[in-house]
Structure 1
């Protein structure tokens, strides 16, 4: 019998395990989002690798996914050398990552989806942190604020908000240029803040924002009505 020959019974068992693991990957991906209109997953791995719980390469494509109330217009991701809990998966348990996985990809968010994300805690927290950086006296922790609208221009962001801490709601407008300083840093410049059409800040001095070591952005592009981001993100178990 040739060395690479596998009995039919063994091949059937391998196919079952392969199908179970592939299905588990798709279920895990769907569990990460509350909604997705189109999800495509491609896995490149030999049966032997899958049997050991190793996925050498996987690509993911999704349209109109919602992750923690963030509306993502389009996502393209690719990851290598993923190790999963194959023994537990075969017992019907959910898929779990066994170690940190670096994921390379492209994210596109249209202005409409970005505005639909204003209720997201992730986005509102980031905007509140921005306000605290620019105007500490207007910190959202002490002065409630409602973020109303985001406008995307060429490498520029405009924000409209309402301060609700007084009897009369106060409109606040922020505009700034946004550029990529390094893989882990953004630079804010040409900052202008107005309250009731009265200028509070007008400065060309830059502010640098640290994104942390889990992120490595290669490109950040703002065009009218759309944000495009390409880079790497570490996905933790």
Structure 2
């Protein structure tokens, strides 16, 4: 009977610690976004691992999360070998990562959510910086674009916006095609078509490579009508 009670007590302690960690992890995740519709967290660890602050596996599912104004339709993440400040967490303090964590996941962004994100600085700046980088002659930084619409099609993205100059505002349509992965952190664009409100269409068939950084490892990037699907890994630093 004493042995049974001891096992029951240990199980209760582990369950309480798991509940505390799950709550702390949810609070930390919610602090990274400004809005989230659904959030599920599952922690898999033994008693000894939890008490040492090491979590072998965490699974996270979230839907309609807003990160810096960018609306993410759905995301499923798995992280392994996480080191956290367990002593502080058990005292009610915020969770902190102690080491870099590699996170593997699937991300889905649909066209409606992407268009709802156009007002965010994160997305609008990224689009403008992309054009300045691949076509600096046609898109100098001094002529900003007010983005109006994004259309996701088979292996291509169509951007519509208003080009602002000192004297006028002109409608503009840009088609980014031939999108493919060269490596886990490098994308290539091979077909860019620009249709101004008046005049000839600019057709650029040069290869433009985009480096996403060493913390990114994309295994799959798929563009289908109305949806972008990405599968890969990213490093999250403390």
The normalised TM-score by structure 2 is 0.91
Structure-2 separation of matches of 1:14 and 1:43: 12
Q: Tell me the residue number matched to 2:228.
A: 227
Give, in angstroms, the shift of residue 19 of structure 1.
2.1
**How many residues in Structure 1 have an aligned counterpart in Structure 2?**
237
Structure-2 separation of matches of 1:11 and 1:207: 56
Structure-1 separation of matches of 2:11 and 2:154: 56
Query: Measured at CA, do residues 171 and 114 of structure 1 come closer, stay the same or move farther in structure 2, by a change above 3 Å?
Result: same
Give, in angstroms, the shift of residue 121 of structure 1.
2.0
Q: Secondary structure at the match of 1:97?
A: coil
Structure-1 separation of matches of 2:76 and 2:161: 32
Q: Tell me the residue number matched to 1:56.
A: 56
Give, in angstroms, the shift of residue 197 of structure 1.
3.6
RMSD: 2.1
Q: Tell me the residue number matched to 1:21.
A: 21
Q: Tell me the residue number matched to 1:148.
A: 148
Query: Measured at CA, do residues 190 and 95 of structure 1 come closer, stay the same or move farther in structure 2, by a change above 3 Å?
Result: same
Q: How does 1:200-211 map to 2 (within 5 A)?
A: 201-211=202-212
Query: Measured at CA, do residues 45 and 175 of structure 1 come closer, stay the same or move farther in structure 2, by a change above 3 Å?
Result: same
1:81 aligns with 2:58: no
Give, in angstroms, the shift of residue 15 of structure 1.
3.7
1:142-186 CA-to-partner distances (Å, cap 9, x unmatched) read 123211111111000111111122332111211121222211111
- Segments of structure 1 that go 5 or more residues without pairing to the other structure are none
Q: Tell me the residue number matched to 1:127.
A: 127
The normalised TM-score by structure 1 is 0.92
Structure-2 separation of matches of 1:176 and 1:8: 60
Q: Tell me the residue number matched to 1:69.
A: 69
Give, in angstroms, the shift of residue 68 of structure 1.
1.0
